[in-house]
Amino acid sequence: MKQLIDSIDEGVLTLNADGRIERASERAASMLGRRREDLIGRSLEDLGVHIGKEGSVEARVDRGDGTGTRLSLTIAPLADQEREGSAMVLLRDIGDRRRAERTLAAAEARYRSLFQNPHEVVALLRYVLDGEGRITDAVFLDVNALFSRIIGLPRGEIIGKKVTEVLGTDAFQENLPMLQAMRSGGRPVSFDTYFGLLDAYVRNLFAPVDEETFVLSSLDMTRVIEAKRRAEENAETARQQSEALDALMDAVPAAIWIAHDPECRVITGNRAADIMYESGAKENVSAGTSTGEELSAARRFFREGRELRPEELPMQVAASTGSEVRNFEVDVLLPSGKRITTLGHAIPLFDSRGRVRGTVAATIDITERKRHEQELAFQARLLASSHDAIVAMDSGGTITYWNSAAEEMFGRTAEEAIGQNAAELLWSNLSDIKRESTIRKLLEAGRLDSESVFHRKDGKEFITSSHARALKDRDGALVEIVCSFRDISESKRAERELEEYSRQLERYNSELQQFAYITSHDLQEPLRMITLYMDLLDRRHGGELSPQAKEYMGIARDGARRMRRLIDDLLLYSRIETNRSDFTDVDMTKVFRSVVKELAPAVSDAGAVINIDPMPVVRANETHMRQLATNLIANAVKFRRADTPPVIEVTASTVGDVCIFSVRDNGIGIDPKYVDKLFKMFYRLHTRDEYPGSGIGLAICKKIVERHGGWLWVESDGRSGSTFHFTIPRGQMPEGQAEIDASS
């Protein structure tokens, strides 16, 4: 029995007299989604099936896995006397059949809908193949009413005919590639084409039904294609406009920024923006996102000295408020370290619903303008604080600027002066001819310097040094005249006093020179007489005089000689003048060597060694240079140590246009505390018995050097000699002589 039940394709259940399952086939257990042992002892009602003792029913049965299945159940009693009341149940799965029926019904509905569509041409066709399986034609199996109406043939005359017979060979060959593509690919093929019978563009669809048949459907796409064409044209126009806009933006010298989202997370700019902000093309230069994440930390933004947060920048402000931000000035620190100042406007962009979708901003670099403004402000402050009166007037002579110094100098406030005619206010004392002549000279030369007499508002007269300058445009037309006035009344008075003092000093100097000459001549004559008669007395009566008398005569002669030398030195000192007309190029090498030759007896007696380096050429009085060299060399020889022969070094160097000479010795030196007094008249550090002399030699040296525009000073530690330095302006080097500099 069990083998019989399992061999049947349908599911089989046997029920006892109580209606409970005694046996179940494998097929029945599978249909019910349960194991066979789980079914034994259960009733059909437990499975959700309600059926009588016999008959058939279709019911949905719950499977053991929670799903359901639709079954056909047939119950019949068993003819078994031993088991009276038992029955057999046959189960058939009708789910696949129902699904097939529904699928078929849906397909038929779609087919009917397709063929009944009044706006679409539909035909069912069968391939016509050659011996090699290639498509050579197609036969109409069915067509809808619209197809028949367009072709102009009754449906019965179309069905069974080939495409080439109904539509023509050209139409078939034109569509053959798409038909082959559909058949080889097994998928529908859609394409647009012009259909002459409709005089319209249509969209064709070839869709396979099975290996032998396919469906052709055509939809009038004239409006769609026209709309598509217009859309493509509009897209092309929009593309061209976008390219033109991009070109225009790149041509604009101002930086144009566009934020592409309401949070300004993505900001790109035009070429000017890339250059201004040192960014790459289309680089996102947003300073931050809505979460504050830094996207461009290389750029920092400041306003009035405070660094701005991303949400404080003009584009973000315009986006967050939905309002324009104008004339927003920002200092920007660029990646290169360069700092610029920008002025910008930001405008929010809105979508069709009025919501902010981004922002656009234009900025210009005003760094140079700010610098000029600062310079102008600084110049204005300078003009306002200038001690000189500054007055500006336009081309018509009307005063346009009048600083505080002008108010004080002329006694008129700026409110009183600005707007007045300058000629009437300032130069009313000049004749019309004189004023016109002055203006003509100014316009011709562009500037005019003069000294003028003016009157204050209270009538007080004063003298000014005036400087006027005419400012013209590129075409040479007069734009403005700027005048500065400096009150030189006091300097003029001082100048007159100085001129008078100079004349008096010149007269006094002349009288002093005459007095010195006359005095020296008159004083030398008695000294000559004293010396002469002392010599005569010694020659004629020397043998008769006592030794004491001879000593007295020697003292008298020595005093006369010292007095004469002192007078000569005084005369020399008084005659040292600064007359540059007698300046020549003096070769100091020749001067020092010549002086050494003249002092040869004293040099030889002292056993002195004198070394003279190459000397530069100076612009000086040669006689004075000889006197200067003589005094310095003679002093170096005279003030020597008793046990050491003098060694004298004469060197020179040049610094710019000045020559520095040095005379160094190894003599007795000079106590540093007496250095400042050393160059005074008649000042002596030693007695005449120790070192003879008049005490005027260094004073003469000092006067000579100062009259030549130089300096004379001495360096000494009081133990190891002295070094005298003096400076003289440089002259023209003789041809072939090497130049001496500070490094020599």
CA–CA gap between residue 397 and residue 483 (Å, rounded): 12
Is 29 a residue whose pLDDT tops 80? yes
Among 197, 218, 194, 195, which residue's Cα sits nearest to residue 206? Answer: 218
pTM, full prediction? 0.35
Q: Tell me which range, 245-249, 322-326, 492-496, is most confidently predicted by mean pLDDT.
A: 322-326
Mean pLDDT of all residues belonging to the chain: 79
Q: How many CA atoms lie within 13 A of 426 on its CB side?
A: 27
DSSP secondary structure of 163-232: HHHHT-HHHHHHHHHHHHHHHHHTS-EEEEEEETTTTEEEEEEEEE-SSSEEEEEEEE-HHHHHHHHHHH
pLDDT band per the 50, 70, 90 thresholds, residue 593: very high
Q: Which residues contact 430 (CB under 8 A, 6 or more apart)?
A: 423, 438
How large is the average pLDDT for residues 230-236? 79
Q: Tell me which range, 39-43, 215-219, 228-232, 385-389, is most confidently predicted by mean pLDDT.
A: 39-43
pLDDT at residue 289 in the model: 41
pLDDT at residue 284 in the model: 66
Is 744 a residue whose pLDDT tops 50? no
Q: Which residues contact 704 (CB under 8 A, 6 or more apart)?
A: 576, 624, 625, 627, 628
Q: How many CA atoms lie within 13 A of 457 on its CB side?
A: 10
Inter-residue contact 703 to 576 (CB < 8 Å)? yes
CA–CA gap between residue 666 and residue 652 (Å, rounded): 18
Is 296 a residue whose pLDDT tops 50? no
Quick: pLDDT tens for 669-716. 887 776 676 766 555 555 555 555 556 778 888 888 888 888 888 888
Higher-pLDDT residue of 516, 539: 539
pLDDT at residue 524 in the model: 61
Among 675, 678, 681, which residue's Cα sits nearest to residue 696? Answer: 681
With pLDDT > 90 as the criterion, what percentage of the chain qualifies?
Answer: 12
- Cα 662 to chain centroid distance, Å, stands at 55
Q: How far is the first Cα of the chain from the last one, in angstroms, to the nearest whole number?
A: 140
Between the CA of residue 146 and those of 110, 119, 658, what are the distances in Å? 17, 8, 119
DSSP secondary structure of 509-522: HHHHHHHHHHHHHH
CA–CA gap between residue 8 and residue 14 (Å, rounded): 13
Quick: pLDDT tens for 307-352. 888 888 888 999 999 999 998 898 989 888 889 999 989 999 998 8
Cross-strand partners of 129:
135
Is 199 a residue whose pLDDT tops 70? no
Q: Which two tokens stand for residue 522?
A: 């008159």
DSSP secondary structure of 100-121: HHHHHHHHHHHHHHHHH-TTEE
Is 717 a residue whose pLDDT tops 70? yes
pLDDT at residue 743 in the model: 33
How large is the average pLDDT for residues 581-600? 87
pLDDT at residue 513 in the model: 65
Is 126 a residue whose pLDDT tops 90? yes
Contacts 24+ apart (CB under 8 A), 383-386: 386/484
**Backbone φ, ψ for residue 106 (5° rounding):** -65, -40
How large is the average pLDDT for residues 37-64? 80
Q: Lowest-confidence range among 131-135, 275-279, 282-286?
A: 282-286
CA–CA gap between residue 728 and residue 659 (Å, rounded): 5
CA–CA gap between residue 485 and residue 409 (Å, rounded): 9
Q: Which residues contact 113 (CB under 8 A, 6 or more apart)?
A: none
Is 407 a residue whose pLDDT tops 60? yes
pLDDT band per the 50, 70, 90 thresholds, residue 735: very low
pLDDT at residue 350 in the model: 92
Quick: pLDDT tens for 623-682. 888 888 988 998 888 888 888 889 999 999 988 888 999 999 998 888 777 667 676 655
- What 3-state class would DSSP assign to 662? strand
- What 3-state class would DSSP assign to 126? strand
Q: Lowest-confidence range among 237-251, 309-323, 392-406, 671-685?
A: 671-685
Among 371, 366, 364, 359, which residue's Cα sits nearest to residue 318? Answer: 359
Is 549 a residue whose pLDDT tops 70? yes
CA–CA gap between residue 153 and residue 558 (Å, rounded): 168
Q: Lowest-confidence range among 57-61, 167-171, 512-516, 613-617?
A: 512-516
CA–CA gap between residue 16 and residue 614 (Å, rounded): 152
Is 101 a residue whose pLDDT tops 60? yes
Q: Lowest-confidence range among 4-8, 18-22, 125-129, 557-561?
A: 4-8
Quick: pLDDT tens for 138-155. 999 998 888 888 888 998
Is 374 a residue whose pLDDT tops 70? yes
pLDDT at residue 104 in the model: 60
Higher-pLDDT residue of 61, 665: 665
pLDDT at residue 238 in the model: 76
Higher-pLDDT residue of 412, 738: 412
DSSP classification of residue 459: S
pLDDT at residue 127 in the model: 93
Cβ–Cβ contacts within 10 Å for residue 73, how many?
Answer: 20
CA dihedral defined by 732, 734, 739, 744, rounded to 10 degrees? -110
Is 292 a residue whose pLDDT tops 50? no
Higher-pLDDT residue of 307, 269: 307
Q: State which H helix or E strand residue 320 sits in.
A: helix 314-321
Inter-residue contact 11 to 44 (CB < 8 Å)? no
pLDDT at residue 478 in the model: 84
Q: How many CA atoms lie within 13 A of 372 on its CB side?
A: 4
Cross-strand partners of 485:
389, 466
CA–CA gap between residue 471 and residue 477 (Å, rounded): 9
